Amino acid sequence: MRTVALEQEANPWESQAARFDLAANKLNLDEGLWKVLRYPTREIILHIPVAMDNGHLEVFTGFRVQHSIARGPGKGGVRYAPDVTLDEIRALASWMTWKCAVVNIPFGGAKGGIICDPHKMSMGELERMTRRYTAELVEFIGPEKDVPAPDVNTNEQIMAWMMDTYSMHMRQTVTAVVTGKPINIGGSRGRREATGRGVLIVCDEAIRKLGLDRDTTRVVIQGFGNVGSNAARLMAEAGYKIIGIGEVGGGLYNKNGIDVEALWEFRQRNGTIHGFPGAEKYDPAELLLTDCEILIPAATENQITSRNADRVKCKILAEGANGPTTSPADEILADKKVFIIPDILANAGGVTTSYFEWVQDRQGYFWKESVVNEQLEHIMKAAFEDVVRYSETHNVNNRIAAYMLAIDRVAYTIRQRGIYA
| Residues that are catalytic | 111
Residue 392: exposure state from Cβ atoms within 10 A (0-12, 13-18, ≥19): exposed
With a CB cutoff of 8 Å and minimum separation 6, the contacts of 38 are 17, 20, 21, 24
* CA distance linking residue 26 with residue 377, whole number of Å: 30
Please write down the HEC assignment for all residues of 292-356: CCEEEECCCCCCECCCCHHHCCCCEEECCCCCCECHHHHHHHHHCCCEEECHHHHCCHHHHHHHH
* CA distance linking residue 418 with residue 306, whole number of Å: 40
Residue 233 main-chain phi, psi, to 5 deg: -65, -45
Nearest residue to 74 (alpha-carbon basis) of 26, 42, 120 = 42
* CA distance linking residue 333 with residue 330, whole number of Å: 5
Chain length of the chain: 421
